[in-house]
Structure formats: C-alpha cells, structure tokens
Chain A
Amino acid sequence: MLESLLFLIMGSITIACALCVVFQKNPIYSAIFLIQTMVSLAVLYVLLHAQFIAAIQVMIYAGAIMVLFIFVIMLLNLSKADEEGERDNLFFQKPSAIILGFILVVMIGTVTLKTVFQGVKGEYTPETISQIGNTQLVGKMLFTKYVFPFEIASILLFAAIIGAIILAKKRIIED
C-alpha cells in the first residue's frame, strides 16, 4: 500500500520533471530538472528492490554525467538570444520524433508484455535478494554469468578514453 502510493508520487514527479526538461527554454534549467528526474528514478529503483542500481544512479547519473552535461552546455555557449529566441527547427524534426517515439513505446510495450506481465515468478524474488543482499547478488551475477559483458565494458571505457583524447587534444597532437 505504502509502496504503491510512493510509486505513484515518485512516478508523477519523474514524468513531470522529464517533461520540464523538454519544455524548458534555458538548457541549464533543463539540466537541473534532469537531475531531479535521475534522483526520482533512483527512488523508483529502490521500490523495485534494486538498491545498488539506485545508489549508482545517484552517483553516476545525477553526479558525474550531469557535470558532463553542464560542461557541454557551457562549451556550446548559447547566447541569451539563442536561449530565449527562435531556433532553426529541422523540417523533419517533428514527424520523425513522433514516429520514433511511437516505435519506442511499442517496443517497450511488447517487451514488458512478453516478460514482466507473464505472471511467472523469476529466480530472484525480493525475498531471496534481501536474503543474499542486493550488491552481493549483482557482484555474483556480474562476475560469473555476465563476465563477458563486464570485460567488454572495459573495452568500451577504453574506447571512450581514446575518443575523448583524440577529439579534445587535437590541437596539441598536431603541433
């Protein structure tokens, strides 16, 4: 009862903040609303008994990623006129957004219908998770069953390092 009430409250806050991100004209305000969206999502993860993901959500998304977003906004250096005035809209922007959004909703819908709403109890119920411990379970699964994606993640991070250095340090390398 309490959980579903909290879910309703946090879910509506998340959606409201996500809408604010889109409709704000000033990108910095959008970024602040995005932080609130991330934090509310963390609460939703807690309600789903995924405490580790919730902590990571706050640390990585609401913390580190948002710093990166703010720096990108500062890099792009929008003038006051750009922030408040009109922008060049791409002519295919709205139709393509509607089509892609529709495809996304259909995809999420079919996946949830096929997996979550089947009524079959999975291996890891909230009881077993709380018995072993959420983070322990994540660790065990990550380093046994999902070891390959884990190692691939290091390659991905390595690629990100090289990409960032190549892009941002271009001038120095050329000199």
Chain B
Amino acid sequence: MLISYLPILILLLVVMGFAISNIIISALIGRHKPTAEKLSPYECGVEPIGSARERFSVKFYIIAMMFVIFDIEVVFLYPWAVAYKSLALFGLIEMAIFIIILLVGYVYIWKRGGFEWE
C-alpha cells in the first residue's frame, strides 16, 4: 500500500535535492564580491523605502479570510462530487442548501464592499 506513494517520495527528494544543491553549488562556484547595492533587499528593482516591518493593512487579512472560507466550501464539494451517483437527488438538494447559505454570505460580502480594495 505504501509503495504507491513512492512517486511522492521521489518528487520530495528531487525537490529538496534541487533546492539544497542550488544553494551549495552557487556558494561553491559563485563569485563573492559583495557591495552595498548587492546586499540590499531586492524589491522588484525599486530602491527599498523604509523597513519591511511596517503594519500591514487589514485588507490583506480579509482577503485571506474570504479565501479560507470559500476554500473550505470547495473541500465539501470533493466528497460530494465523488459520491454523487450513489447520493442521487438527496445529495443534490443537500448541496444546494449548503451552497445557497454560503451564496447569501457571498452576496453579503459583495454588498458590504468586501471585494473592493479602496
């Protein structure tokens, strides 16, 4: 049974090996001539303004919160989709109630401007 997870193990080893060997190889064969510009944090080519430890807006949090909520909604769809045939109409009605309740929540977020970035 565990042997069916061998591809995941191989993938894991390849990924870890790639990451570690990249760091080691670049440390071994790369040239080291540090300057102030090279050591400064990379911010898409723009010169960094101030510290990174500034207070972030609550807008990011609300986006993450909405993502988690609707992600959980999707999680409930997976077992339903897999067992759909045996559940038949009963399952469809159950899922419809579930979706409608969350749809009300979705409309509420929309009306309150939860998706706007002002």
Contact = CB atoms under 8 A, between A and B. Distances in A.
B83 to A, nearest CB: 3
Contact of A158 (B54, B64, B104): B104
A133 B108 contact: no
A76 B97 CA distance: 37
B15 interface: no
A39 to B, nearest CB: 10
A153 B91 CA distance: 16
B86 interface: yes
A75 B113 CA distance: 21
Contacts of B106: 161
Contact of A72 (B61, B73, B76, B104): B61
B73 A157 contact: yes
A110 B98 CA distance: 35
A165 B71 contact: no
A46 B8 CA distance: 12
B79 interface: yes
Interface in A120-174: 126, 130, 133, 135-136, 138-140, 142-144, 147, 150-151, 153-155, 157-158, 160-162, 164-165, 168-169, 172-173
Interface residues of B, number: 49
B101 interface: yes
A161 B64 contact: no
A93 interface: no
A136 B83 contact: yes
Nearest to A82: B53
Interface in A13-64: 46, 49, 52, 56, 59-60, 63-64
Nearest to A133: B82
Given A79-B53, A143-B94, A153 B76 contact: yes
A162 B105 CA distance: 7
A130 B86 contact: no
Contacts of B61: 68, 71-72, 75, 168
A65 B68 CA distance: 7
A60 B62 contact: no
Given A80-B53, A168-B61, 20 more contacts: A59-B71, A64-B68, A68-B65, A68-B68, A71-B64, A77-B56, A136-B79, A139-B81, A140-B86, A143-B83, A143-B87, A151-B98, A153-B98, A154-B97, A155-B101, A157-B73, A164-B65, A165-B108, A169-B112, A169-B113
Interface of B: 1-2, 5, 53-56, 58-62, 64-69, 71-73, 75-76, 78-84, 86-87, 90-91, 94-95, 97-98, 101-102, 104-106, 108-109, 112-114, 118
